[in-house]
């Protein structure tokens, strides 16, 4: 049986869980690299949610009111699992965290203030007064690697604790399509104008709830001028002399490696 994850077609009614994910204070209860447990933890549970089936076994997440000590386990943040677990398990952990965050943040209606209720089948909270329906929120973003011949533009973000050099990224604003957001973000962050862009792929990025749309974009004009606010430094790097970049599990890392592999292959033909 494969490890394919099949999302829940409906949130309710939830089956009896075969695998349990436990979250408290924004962290997952892990035993080494494993965050899926055979038994639930004996602790105060605020809410539980059915997520879907992993390898034919039902998975659910439990939000605890506070962290508890469990022998042989430790509490880990989601980012620490990046690269330690495979893509399917990382996505499942991200889904679990996003679901409990949505549930916690929308217990009261943002329009009239009444306490919300669960939808009969959908993953949604409904206000019984004004009927406002709130589903888990996903924020679309663009992430783009700007290229110039055999070089690509890599940046170090001012607010990131690590020293990785990565592709540019930004949120899509109301009324924009992805390509418009791409051009605007590149102009705002490093002062460059880009021309043709090519869509590469997407990735759920649960920090806290983004959908990243990845592009390769060709430089058209301008000199690199980091904005100094979001971007601490940025420069052109030859594909064969890259600085420390994000791991291949990230869309940024995939964009950079896709570009480098394509240029390298073209040079050998």
- DSSP alpha helix (H) spans, 16-162: 87-105
Binning pLDDT at 50, 70 and 90, where does residue 1 land? very low
Q: pLDDT at position 154, please?
A: 98
Task: Summarize the confidence of residues 113-139 as an average pLDDT.
Answer: 97
CA 229 to chain centre: 23
Alpha carbon distance 194, 217 (integer Å):
6
Binning pLDDT at 50, 70 and 90, where does residue 7 land? very high
Q: For residue range 43-55, list pLDDT tens digits in order.
A: 899 999 999 999 9
* Residue in this structure with the two tokens 């990735």, named with its chain if needed: 203
Spatial CA neighbour of 78 closest among 103, 59, 99: 99
Q: pLDDT at position 83, please?
A: 87
Percent of the chain with pLDDT over 70: 98
For domain 5-105, give the fold.
Nucleoside Triphosphate Pyrophosphohydrolase (3.90.79)
Q: For residue range 107-124, list pLDDT tens digits in order.
A: 999 999 999 999 999 999
Annotated domain spans of the chain? 5-105, 107-136, 139-268
Binning pLDDT at 50, 70 and 90, where does residue 269 land? low
Same CATH topology for 5-105 and 139-268: the answer is yes
Question: Residues with Cβ < 8 Å from 99, sequence gap 6 or more?
Answer: 49, 51, 61, 123, 136
* Residue in this structure with the two tokens 């659910």, named with its chain if needed: 60
Give me the CATH code for the 139-268 domain, please. 3.90.79.10
| Angle at 228 (CA atoms; ends 221, 174), nearest 5 degrees | 70
């Amino acid at each position: 049986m494969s490890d394919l994850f099949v999302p829940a077609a409906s949130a309710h009614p939830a089956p009896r869980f075969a695998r349990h994910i436990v979250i408290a204070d924004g962290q997952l209860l892990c035993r080494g690299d494993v965050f899926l447990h055979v038994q639930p933890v004996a602790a105060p549970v605020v809410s539980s949610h059915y997520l879907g089936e992993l390898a034919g076994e039902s998975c659910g997440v439990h939000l605890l009111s506070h962290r508890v000590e469990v022998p042989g386990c430790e509490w880990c943040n989601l980012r620490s699992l990046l690269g330690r677990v495979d893509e399917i398990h990382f996505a499942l952990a991200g889904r679990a965290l996003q679901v409990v965050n949505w549930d916690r943040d929308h217990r009261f209606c943002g329009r009239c203030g009444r306490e919300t209720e669960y939808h009969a089948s959908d993953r949604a909270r409904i206000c019984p007064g004004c009927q406002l329906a709130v589903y888990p929120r996903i924020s679309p973003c663009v992430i783009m690697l700007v290229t110039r011949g055999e070089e690509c533009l890599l940046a170090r973000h001012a607010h990131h604790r690590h020293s990785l050099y990565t592709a540019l990224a930004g949120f899509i604003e109301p009324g924009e399509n992805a390509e418009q957001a791409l051009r605007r973000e590149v102009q705002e962050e490093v002062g460059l104008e880009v021309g043709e862009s090519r869509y590469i792929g997407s990735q759920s990025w649960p920090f806290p709830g983004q959908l990243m749309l990845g592009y390769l974009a060709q430089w058209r004009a301008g000199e690199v001028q980091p904005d100094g606010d979001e971007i601490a430094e940025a420069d052109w790097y030859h594909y064969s002399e890259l600085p420390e970049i994000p791991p291949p599990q990230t869309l940024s890392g995939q964009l950079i490696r896709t570009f480098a592999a394509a240029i390298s292959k073209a040079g050998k033909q």
